[in-house]
Amino acid sequence: MQIGKKAVLVIFGICIPLLVAASFIAISWLHSEVDAIRSYVIEKELESIQSRIDRDLERFQLQLETSSLHPQSGVPISLLPEITVFGSTQVQQVIDGKFQPIDKSKPMEPMLPTALLASKQTKSGVYFDSRQAVGYVIGIQAESDIRPERLVLISRLTDNYLATLGLADFATKIEIEAGSAKHGGGLRGNTVIAQLNVPALLNQEQAHLSITFSNQFFSGMTRLYSAQTFGLLGLVSVLLLLVFFWLRSAVIRPLNQLSEQVLSLEPNSKDRQYIKSAGDNELSQVTKNINQLLERHYRQEKLSQVTLESITDMVILTDIHYNVSYINPYAEHLLKLSNEQAQGKKLHELLPGNQSLNNKITTFMQSSSLSIDSIRLRLNIDSPKLMSGTFGHFCNHSGDIIGAVLVLKDTTQEVLLKQQLQRQAYLDPVTGLLNRAAFEERLVGYAQSSQFIAVVYFDLEQFKLINDSCGHNAGDKMLSKVAKAIESSLSSNMLLGRIGGDEFGLIIKDSSALAVAKLIKKIIASVGCQSIEHNDTSYRVGLSAGVALARFNQQTDALELLKDADIACLAAKRKGSNQVHFYDSRDKDLSYQRNAPKWAVRIVQAIEHNELILYYQKIKCLSSHSHRQRLEILLRIQDAGGRILPPAQFIAAAERFKLIVEVDKEVIRKTFLWLSLNEQVWSDHCLSINLSGNSLGAEGMIDFILLQQKRFGIPSSCVCFEITETSAIQNHSRALKMIADLRRRGFAFALDDFGSGFASYGYLKEMPVDYVKIDGCFVKNLASNAKDYAIVKSVNDVCRVMGIETVAEFVENQEIIDRLEVIGVNYAQGYGIGRPQALDSYQSETVSEQVMATY
């Protein structure tokens, strides 16, 4: 319905009828209120008249009771001054049972009924003479001893008296009539008649007053209120008409024009659309807002169109019946259809061969879900393409689903690239075997599906020589040959992978240890036959193998088996070339190797939390001229159970995991700290600190030592660094440079374990050391073995000539000490001299000695 018709309906169909109805209701209410007021006023007036009559009767009775007859005229004396209470008054006397007028000159009126004589009391009341239609007020005096006569006082109710009972201009007429009064008043024309009972002299002779009241005042009031109500109704009606005509000209007509323009807009138009302004400023603002919305809609349409035409995703829109309503240009390109040709087709016609997709779309459409669902399909047009994307509903402004959108992306290249990356992630590019991550993942699955499993760890020998001599290309060629040689010996229940640079892993299911050993020997032989030529030189490799066997159960950790095989492979390499070693948990050396990673973690924690513990072992002076007491600093670590462990159990782990340099630095720092806290030992003590081969010439080691010396402010004469014979020779040039630099700054050096390696006196001649520590293997049997005695004496003689002092290790008894004194060895160290103790306890011993020396 148009807005103009709605306005007419509201004003003329609802507002005006409601106003008219309200006016009539108001008038009816006013009439009822006027009637109520009139009834109330009349009721009060009747009460006033009744009260007046009662008071006059009381006065009349009082006059009668207090009166006495005049001796001459016979008239009651008290009545003479006021005999006209009601009007003309006549006095009668009862003589011989009859009423006789006292004044004989006047006729007796009225003729009273003899029934009045029956009353012996004084009483008064109204008597209506029906023959004359006149009312009287009559009072009868009773007989008494003082007054034996009975007097009757009669007063006529005149019209003048009756007229004075009511309000002037309101009670227009008052008459007395026979009979009892009727309740309620009657409206007659412009008057209201009401009746009021008066006190009767005789019960059988009732009389009442008929009172006529004027209704002119109340009629005028009713007319005035009605006129005002209808006037207000007319005024409001006129105002409504004015409002209607204003709405019609100022609002309805411009809105109709605006509505016609809006309805004329084409929803699917691709051109800009605007509407013209109509009406006043408010409608102009509405027009402006609509045009802004149209402009925004146009821009969004253009943006959506450009986006859909530009993206390289296939976009298909359908209605709720799966009929295609739109496809974008990229979809046109892939489907070889135009948008017009595709419209109206079913999805299964547009995407043939994807019945599962059709079922999925049907289920999704029927679910009325507003979530986005992912889909994958294969598009077989021209060349096969793998498509993936999303499918979802779109709704109108009311939230009702009106269609669906299918967005598909060509993921063919992505899938191929992903497959390639997966191959690269799981396969070794050189050999084509599984890499370590894939091998370990498959290892777990293999273990779970077998009753007995063997994990073999292969490590190539001499492979580094090929890489260094021939280059990495030749090394990769050799790796490829080795992989093929190993694969040629395997069956289907075995799995091979490259798990390191020159390391391979093999998983064998449900085979005996003997069968595994035979297979490994066959593989070693096959690998040994592989060779490559480079610059007319043939290169071959060997193969060491470590094997870990296990009967699989729920507690078996397959990855731990690989670690065990790795440890066994290290043991095999120590045995020589092309060797096989089976892991045995009872082997202590293998157990140490297996626990090496845990020890490495514990060492790092100990360094970070300052938990490395320093011990010392005394070095006794036998024949030296030096006054200094010598101590060798030893390292201990505390395990989780609180036990103090010797270095044999963790130094190997520190060297294997490249932590030994950090351990040496921590020992240096803690030793220097102890010296800084014990200045009393600076003048007569020297502490020996062991340096590993890795620390010799390590980057920044010399700077670290000098920085710690400066930090703690200790003299260099208190420190001697011990290096092993083997490490000094293997790091010859770096060791020489480090020894020279630190000796120039006052530090001493000792060559440890001399005689245990392949050193010669030539190397000793080049090493500018201050001390040589003779290896304990020559000292511990010195007292009983002449050869050991000769070797020790020879080393001591050479060192004495070169100006180097000697220290004998492993000195366990006094007999050895005596022999060393004979030879002339300068110092002795071993359990015969003193066992290792905590360095902190030595501090307390030193203080105690000084205190005792004071006394």
Q: Which residue has the higher pLDDT, 8 or 846?
A: 8
Q: Which residue has the higher pLDDT, 230 or 2?
A: 230
The pLDDT, as a whole number, for residue 91 is: 62
**Across the strands, what pairs with 738?**
none
Q: Give the whole-angstrom CA distance, residue 98 versus residue 92.
A: 10
Ranking 51-65, 66-80, 494-508 by mean pLDDT, the lowest is 66-80
Higher-confidence residue: 792 or 645?
Answer: 792
Indicate the pairing of strand 771-774 with strand 719-724: unpaired
CA-based nearest residue to 516, from 609, 600, 454:
454
**Could you give all domains of the chain from N- to C-terminal order, each with its CATH number?**
8-218 (no CATH), 311-413 (3.30.450.20), 427-594 (3.30.70.270), 615-854 (3.20.20.450)
- Mean pLDDT for the stretch of residues 462-468: 84
- 68: pLDDT strictly greater than 80: no
pLDDT at 672: 96
DSSP code at position 84: -
> Helix or strand or coil: residue 709?
helix
- Please tell me the predicted confidence (pLDDT) of residue 852: 42
Cα 160 off chain centre by: 103
Least confident of 106-115, 376-385, 697-706, 809-818: 106-115
- Is residue 812 exposed (0-12), middle (13-18) or buried (19+ Cβ within 10 Å)? middle
Residue 732's identity, in one-letter code, is H
- Which pLDDT belongs to residue 484? 92
Contacts of the segment 357-366: beta carbons below 8 A, 24+ positions apart: 360/391, 361/322, 361/391, 361/404, 361/406, 362/322, 364/391, 364/404, 365/320, 365/322, 365/393, 365/404
**140-161 tens-digit pLDDT:** 776 666 555 566 777 778 888 8
Residues above pLDDT 90, as percent of the chain: 21
Instruction: Select the more confidently predicted residue: 209 or 295.
Output: 209
pLDDT in tens, 22-47: 888 888 888 888 888 888 888 888 88
Residue 247, pLDDT > 90, answer no
The Cα–Cα gap between 445 and 141 comes to 144
Confidence of residue 280 (pLDDT cuts 50, 70, 90): low
Distance CA 737, CA 6 (A): 110
d(CA 718, CA 674): 11
More confident site: 337 or 105: 337
- pLDDT tens column, 159-214: 888 888 888 778 888 888 888 888 766 777 778 888 888 888 777 678 888 888 88
pLDDT score of 137 more than 90: no
Closest CA to 553 of 440, 442, 448: 448
Local confidence band at 670 (pLDDT 50, 70, 90 cut-offs):
very high
pLDDT in tens, 599-628: 777 788 888 888 889 999 999 999 877 788
Q: How confident is the model at residue 854, as a pLDDT? A: 39
Residue 545 φ then ψ, to 5°: -135, 135
Average pLDDT over residues 203-228: 81
Question: Is the per-residue pLDDT at 17 higher than 80?
Answer: yes
Highest mean pLDDT among 75-89, 323-337, 825-839: 825-839
* Segment holding 662, helix H or strand E: helix 660-677
Summarize the confidence of residues 712-727 as an average pLDDT: 90
- In the predicted structure, residue 592 carries a pLDDT above the cut 80: no
Picking from 145-154, 386-395, 740-749, which range would have the lowest pLDDT averaged per residue?
Answer: 145-154
- Phi/psi of residue 827, nearest 5 degrees: -135, 155
Written as six digits, the tokens of 575 are 């045995």
Predicted confidence at residue 15, as pLDDT, reads 82
Average pLDDT over residues 132-141: 79
Q: What secondary structure letter does DSSP report for 680?
A: G
Read off the tokens for 768.
Answer: 């500018």
User: Cα dihedral sign for 836, 838, 839, 843?
Assistant: negative
| Pairing state between β 89-95 and 151-156 | antiparallel
Q: What single letter denotes the amino acid at residue 496?
A: L
Helix ranges (DSSP H) in 609-715: 651-656, 660-677, 701-712
Q: Is residue 731 scored above 60 in pLDDT?
A: yes
Which range, of 209-223, 226-240, 359-373, 679-693, averages the lowest pLDDT?
Answer: 359-373
pLDDT digit string (tens) for 784-825?
999 999 999 999 999 999 999 999 999 999 999 999 999 999
Assign residue 126 a region: left if phi > 0, alpha if psi is -120 to 50, beta otherwise? beta
Arithmetic mean of pLDDT over the chain: 80
pLDDT given for residue 535 in this prediction: 83
Averaged pLDDT for residues 380-386: 74
Q: Give tens-digit pLDDT for 270-279.
A: 666 777 766 5
- Collapsing DSSP states into helix, strand and coil, what is residue 81? coil
What is the band of 83 on the pLDDT scale with cuts at 50, 70, 90?
very low
Burial of residue 172 (CB within 10 Å: 0-12, 13-18, 19+) is middle
Q: How far apart are the first and last CA of the chain?
A: 126
Q: Note whether 563 and 550 are within 8 A (CB).
A: no
Q: Quick one: pLDDT at residue 161?
A: 83
State residue 366's pLDDT score: 67
**pLDDT the model gives residue 846:** 47
Nearest Cα neighbor of 322 from 365, 290, 261 is 365
